[in-house]
Structure 1
Amino acid sequence: MQKEIEPPPVSAPPRRLSKAERRRQLLDTALLIVREENADRLTLGHLAVRAGVSKPVVYDHFGTRSGLLIELYKWIDTERVNAFRDAMSSTTLSLEETAQALASAYIQCAADHTDEFHAVGAALAGSDEKAAFQELLDNCVKMFMAVLKPHARLAEAELERCCIGLVGAGEALSGALVRGRHGEDEVIEAFTALIQGVLKPMSSQPQGPAD
């Protein structure tokens, strides 16, 4: 009697990604394109090919190439800011140590023009949509607030104003470094002293009412 051949098991169809999961997959793939090929190769059509999806899917998420570059730029920045904030919250440092770590991380990031963050930023140079990068500065202010809050007995609004000023100073010092007006160690030292100088007189003040 001939043995009956069983049909192969039917594999379940791949799970359909949610919109958020698809967006994350597309951003991951976009980052790979920048790393492996360069930012000039990052187009909506090429992203669709690399991600294995149709062009309308990519257009639905980002609309234009500028929109894609902006979202990737903000995503990379947010990942970096969150990683640094989490690393700082997992250890106990003095104000001096915190100021040194914060100044070094901020200035060194600004001075490093070799990674994908700056490659994407260069690809966006001159874009009218670059005004949307205010969100990046806002995220940076929030990170400064989270890192410095244990060292400042200040109301939330006052601490925010101080951190806005510090981020502005960091931007100016980073610009001076990039233009070659000062060395990296000098700029980090100046920013460290500035952070300490702003926080030290305030760390002993009584906590005001929260806004």
Structure 2
Amino acid sequence: MGGAGSESPVKRRRVSAATRKELLLETALRTAREEGAGSLTLARLADACGVSKPIAYQHFGSLAGLLAAMFQRVGAEYEETVMEVMAAYRETGTAADSALRALCDAYIACTLENGALHADIGAALVAAGERPGAVFADDAERYCPLVAELVGLDQRTAYALTTAFLGAADRLCEAVIAGRLRQDEAVEVLVRLFPATV
């Protein structure tokens, strides 16, 4: 008896698999930021997104699969930031010292925003059974061709310089987080570490 006061059930909107996966991933990242990556389970994530546990497994396969997708997403933000700076350098003919300053500024800003999260997800991924060497890839190896291009050094020297850059940047970010340095001071110090190379 469908009178005027009765309501029909609201039809659940169908969403694409890609949209659903993105929702799951964004929710997982938000949860990791708020409560730590170690708090995640696929069952909890599925419940938070209003989907069944098998749906979460369908998208990621396992908790390790979810964590790997999260780790890759956060890491991609670093790469995008670096590539944007390098693209501007190539397209506009920016001076190498200006490009180096832009890289220092972008890397420190990105690390302050996402560094702790990236490390936490990586640790959870190792705890889920992944080999540390497979999780924590050599970032210096990834970025050294760009450094070689920027400062005109051979690959071996560029690798050493990139390793020093990343280590110094990470320690400077720790000092900013601890309140010992301002962000702009950290950038300035990082730029001054490499004046002879540009």
**TM-score w.r.t. length of structure 2:** 0.65
Q: Which residue of 1 aligns with 2:11?
A: none
Query: Which protein shows a greater Rg?
Result: 1
Corresponding residue SS for 2:186? helix
Counterpart of 1:89 in structure 2 is: 87
How do 1:80-159 residues align onto structure 2 when only pairs under 5 Å count? 80-90=78-88, 91-112=92-113, 117=114, 120-121=117-118, 124=121, 127=124, 129=126, 131=132, 133-135=135-137, 138=139, 142-143=142-143, 145-146=145-146, 148-159=147-158
Contact 2:42 2:53 in 1 (8 A): yes
Once residues 46 and 194 of structure 1 are traced to their aligned partners in structure 2, the CA distance between those partners, rounded to angstroms, is 46
Map 1:7-22 onto structure 2 (within 5 A).
none
**Alpha carbon RMSD of aligned pairs, Å?**
3.7
Quick one: which amino acid aligns to residue 84 of structure 1? V
Residues 174-183 or 24-33, more deviating = 24-33
Name 2:21's counterpart in structure 1.
Answer: 26
Which residue of structure 2 lines up, in the alignment, with residue 9 of structure 1? Answer: none
Q: Which moved more, 1:162-171 or 1:152-161?
A: 152-161
Q: How much identity, in percent, do the aligned residues show?
A: 23
Alignment of 1:33-44 (within 5 A): 34-35=29-30, 39-40=34-35, 43-44=41-42
**Offset from partner CA, 1:7-58 (integer Å, 9 cap, x none):** xxxxxxx9x96xxxx6x95255321454499644854124435667652453
Equivalent pairs counted in the alignment come to 173
What CA distance in whole angstroms lies between the structure 2 residues aligned with 1:54 and 1:68? Answer: 15
Alpha-carbon distance, 1:103 to partner: 1.0
Q: Which has the higher helix share?
A: 2
Alignment partner, residue 79 of structure 1: 77
What are structure 2's unaligned runs of at least 5 residues? 1-13
**Segment of structure 1 superposing worse, 26-35 or 160-169:** 26-35
In the alignment, which residue of structure 1 is the partner of 2:186? 187
In structure 1, list runs of 5 or more residues that go unmatched: 1-13, 201-211
Report which structure shows greater RCO (CA 8 Å, sep ≥6): 1
